[in-house]
Amino acid sequence: MNKQMQDALNKQVARELSASYSYLAMSLYLDGHNFPGAARWMEVQSEEERTHARMLIEYITDRNCEVILETIPQPTHVFESVLSVFKSALDHEQANTAAIHEMYALAKEIEDYATEAKLQWFLSEQVEEEKTAMDLVAQWERAGEEPSAMLILDQAMSSERTTS
């Protein structure tokens, strides 16, 4: 594998692990503010991001390349509101999509067809992740600060997706 591609994939592993850490911080914030359904949803997101990192790690090692784990920065753990948590999640997903697009463009440029194929899954996954995040932002915007609406939405999230 091209060294530039290997470096990009290693950087993506760090992004996925950082996203996992960020979603965990969001989960803890939501749990601390008595939104157990939303907290569990974010916890599942955290687990899913670790799974994505593991998929990339396996791919890198399958290509007989070295995985180099980078330092993961401390995630934001202070938010203005529940809505701001979900807006932050959407920002994370959009940044991740941009990074995957860059890697895909690099793979295409250097004619690394195997990596192109691997990244196809991640491209499709990001469409789903962004759509879900956008929908949740819209729902929390509609709920506003209305306690009953927030409670209903939180309860709906507890049953929405409990496994990755």
Report the pLDDT value the prediction gives residue 162, as an integer from 0 to 100: 45
Q: Which residues contact residue 114 at a Cβ distance below 8 angstroms, ignoring those fewer than 6 apart?
A: 63
Count CB atoms within 10 A of the CB of residue 18. 20
Give the domain range for residue 125: 3-160
pTM for the whole structure: 0.91
Burial grade of 39 (CB within 10 A; 0-12, 13-18, 19 or more): buried
CATH number at residue 111: 1.20.1260.10
| Residue environment code for 130-162, b if the CB has 16+ CB neighbours within 10 A, otherwise e | eebbeebbebbeebeeeeeebeebbeebeeeee
With contact defined as beta carbons under 8 Å apart, do 126 and 97 qualify? yes
Report the pLDDT value the prediction gives residue 161, as an integer from 0 to 100: 54
Report the pLDDT value the prediction gives residue 163, as an integer from 0 to 100: 41
Report the pLDDT value the prediction gives residue 158, as an integer from 0 to 100: 85
Report the pLDDT value the prediction gives residue 160, as an integer from 0 to 100: 64
Amino acid at 42: M
- State whether residue 76 is helix, strand or coil: coil
Structure tokens at 78: 């202070």
pLDDT (tens, 9 = 90+) of the chain, 164 residues, equals: 999 999 999 999 999 999 999 999 999 999 999 999 999 999 999 999 999 999 999 999 999 999 999 999 999 889 999 999 999 999 999 999 999 999 999 999 999 999 999 999 999 999 999 999 999 999 999 999 899 999 999 999 987 654 43
- Total domains present in the chain: 1
